[in-house]
Structure 1
Amino acid sequence: MNLFEVSKEIADRLACIFLRNEQGNRPVYGSTEKFQTDPHWRDYILFYEYFHGDNGAGLGASHQTGWTGLVAKTIQLFGLLDAERFLESGRQALFKQSDV
């Protein structure tokens, strides 16, 4: 793997904590049923201070985004950019309007 692929892999693993899995649950909410199934809560993403190492459940403060707020930026970044485009255009590729 090159450095771009490594960074994408790390970003994907972090994003998986917040995205719905095959069962339709977000690991960040662990076994908290209200956040997993309630239509008024299930799409509000909380960025916790810490995460359980085995299941990804959020722990600690949920009212301060801190470093976990960066997950949203990595989802955006890797959604717009791939290694080839970055190598061709460099940092300018981040600021060009996407074709989407």
Structure 2
Amino acid sequence: MHEAIKRPSDVSELKGMIASRTITLPEQQEQVARMALAKPDVIAFGTVGSIAAECSVSPSTVVRAATGLGFADFRDFRVFFRLHLRKATSLKAG
């Protein structure tokens, strides 16, 4: 059984976890992770189905990618990216 991955506290920590191979995902789940980092708005405002279509994977792959990245579930994954975008927007505005 795999050791549970700690939920990242922010996007830079998530990027670091992926870059350092702390997190390794099957290829299709990695597609979802790459999309999340490249286009966080797709994750923040998408549905499991819309993200799956964007990444050319199944909806269950999107959910497995979220949990594989340390999130409790898809909703937690989406909220994480919504908060990231909110912080990024407030930093630009300030």
**TM-score over 0.5 (shorter chain):** no
Q: Which has the higher contact order (CA 8 A, sep 6+)?
A: 2
How does the TM-score come out when normalised to structure 2?
0.31
How does the TM-score come out when normalised to structure 1?
0.29
Greater C-alpha radius of gyration: 1
